[in-house]
């Protein structure tokens, strides 16, 4: 099982879209103080959206869709507006 997820940094009004097979661990790594990636700059992150996929390929395709212009509009209008 794979999960496509959207994180939101309320302090910086930033979103991050990804997929993983271990959502709990992945969220911890995004918020870990020793994180050296792009997401470190915008901590803390909150999980605002998830979708489950049965295959890695399906998760990758959905991640790509959410990163498109139409997908980002969906995230902004339907999800981020709640925060």
The H-assigned helical ranges of the chain are: 23-31, 56-67, 69-74
The predicted-structure confidence for 10-58, as pLDDT tens digits, reads as follows: 999 999 999 999 999 999 999 999 999 999 999 999 999 999 999 999 9
Confidence of residue 77 (pLDDT cuts 50, 70, 90): confident
Confidence of residue 79 (pLDDT cuts 50, 70, 90): confident
pLDDT-wise least confident of 27-36, 56-65, 74-83: 74-83
Half-sphere exposure of 66 (CA within 13 A, CB side): 24
CATH code of the domain made up of 2-82: 3.40.1440
Structural domain spans, the chain: 2-82
Q: Is 67 a residue whose pLDDT tops 80?
A: yes
């Amino acid at each position: 099982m794979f999960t496509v997820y959207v994180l939101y940094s309320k302090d910086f009004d930033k979103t991050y879209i990804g997929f993983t097979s271990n959502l709990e661990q992945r969220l911890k790594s995004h918020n870990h103080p020793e994180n050296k990636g792009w997401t470190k700059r915008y901590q803390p992150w909150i999980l605002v959206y998830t979708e489950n996929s049965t295959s890695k390929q399906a998760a990758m395709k959905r991640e790509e869709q959410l990163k498109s212009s139409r997908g980002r509009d969906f995230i902004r209008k339907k999800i981020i507006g709640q925060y």
